[in-house]
Amino acid sequence: MSFLRTLIPFDIIGGLTVTGRYFGKVFFSANRKKIRANLAHFTQEYPEVPVKLQPRYRGRLTLLKDEQGEIKCVCCLACEKICPTQVITIEKGKKEGRKMPFPVRYDFEMERCIFCEFCVESCGFDSIILNHQFELAGYNREDFSIGMDGLGHNMFNPSPVGRHSVAED
């Protein structure tokens, strides 16, 4: 009996059935259905179809402004203290017509950031968030050092490289 079982490879046929079934499924569905339909394959066609991120996704650190366009940060330095890799540097300053302290400098070194969101957790004024950017690559180290000034590449705007990953919230 076992001799026959060895001769007739039912086990291998079983495996081939599983893979063959998937081949058929994907072959007949992959290129015919609309995007976001119930596809048999699991590949996301990433640059063409935007990635769907969860609301709590931890991306790049961003400073927020309130309705008047005023920076919300009041320089309590909680984020600077709690940061496990010390990537935030804040310098306190004064500004005309503002009672609370004002950050003259808010520097963020993304090259060492580990995206743990401790800074956001420690912030008592909801003045920072981690946005939904995950495409954060750069060509040189200066690209990873982000401050309050700088054209298009600062703490308020999303990084210019991440064109496909900014979520709408």
Query: Encoding tokens for residue 12?
Result: 């291998």
By CB under 8 A, is residue 68 in contact with another protein? no
76 HSE (CA, 13 A, CB side)? 14
By CB under 8 A, is residue 55 in contact with another protein? yes
Q: Are 109 and 99 in contact, with CB atoms under 8 Å apart?
A: no
By CB under 8 A, is residue 23 in contact with another protein? yes
Burial class (CB in 10 A: 0-12, 13-18, 19+), 156: middle
70 HSE (CA, 13 A, CB side)? 13
Among 101, 138, 147, 162, binds another protein (CB under 8 A): 147
By CB under 8 A, is residue 26 in contact with another protein? yes
By CB under 8 A, is residue 46 in contact with another protein? no
Residue 92, beta-bridge partner list: 103
Output the smallest distance, CB 162 to another protein, in A. Answer: 16
By CB under 8 A, is residue 126 in contact with another protein? no
Binders of another protein among 82-121, rule CB under 8 A?
Answer: 82, 84, 91, 104-105, 107, 109, 111, 114-118, 121
Per DSSP, 50 falls in state P
Q: How far apart, in Å, are the Cα atoms of 121 and each of 9, 59, 67?
A: 59, 14, 22
By CB under 8 A, is residue 38 in contact with another protein? no
Residues that bind another protein (CB under 8 A): 6-7, 9-12, 14-20, 22-23, 26-27, 30-31, 33-36, 40-43, 45, 47-49, 53-58, 82, 84, 91, 104-105, 107, 109, 111, 114-118, 121, 130, 141-142, 145, 147, 149-150
